[in-house]
């Protein structure tokens, strides 16, 4: 399994929509379990800065990670960026071979 980072920035249509974020997250989690049962959501964070949320998850491949990112966009006006995360110990092994 590979580790991925999903950064998202939401654009709420009205200030009152902020209250619905928890319900949207529960629905995202439900759909994630149904549509991508092989994905393991490791952690999620609200951020201060350029992005609003960060989700860390494991998926078998980039195609599945793309499914997760597209699923996140289903919930409204959202932009996402998905990154591959390599554990530093594995990265050191790569560096040592160079």
What is the structure's pLDDT at 49? 92
pLDDT of residue 35: 95
pLDDT single digits (tens) 25-60: 899 999 999 999 999 999 999 999 999 899 999 999
Name which residue leads in pLDDT, 50 or 11.
50
Q: Are 13 and 78 in contact (CB under 8 A)?
A: no
Domains of the chain, with CATH numbers? 2-97 (3.30.70.1060)
Q: What tokens appear for 73 in the block?
A: 């966009």
Compute φ and ψ for 87, nearest 5 degrees: -55, 140
Looking at the DSSP assignment, which residues form a beta bridge with residue 9? 79
Q: Given pLDDT bands bounded at 50, 70 and 90, which one contains residue 14?
A: low
**Would you list the DSSP string of 64-85?**
HHHHHHHHHHTTSSEEEEEEEE
Residue 12: the pLDDT is: 67
């Amino acid at each position: 399994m590979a580790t991925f980072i999903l950064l998202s920035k939401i654009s709420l249509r009205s200030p009152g929509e902020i209250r619905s974020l928890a319900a949207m997250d529960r629905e995202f989690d439900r759909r994630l379990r149904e549509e991508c049962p092989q994905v393991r959501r490791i952690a999620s964070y609200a951020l201060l800065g350029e992005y609003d949320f960060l989700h860390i998850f494991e998926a078998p491949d980039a195609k599945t990670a793309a499914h997760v990112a597209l699923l996140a966009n289903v919930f409204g006006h959202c932009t996402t960026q998905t990154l591959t995360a390599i554990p530093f110990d594995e990265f050191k092994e790569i560096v040592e071979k160079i």
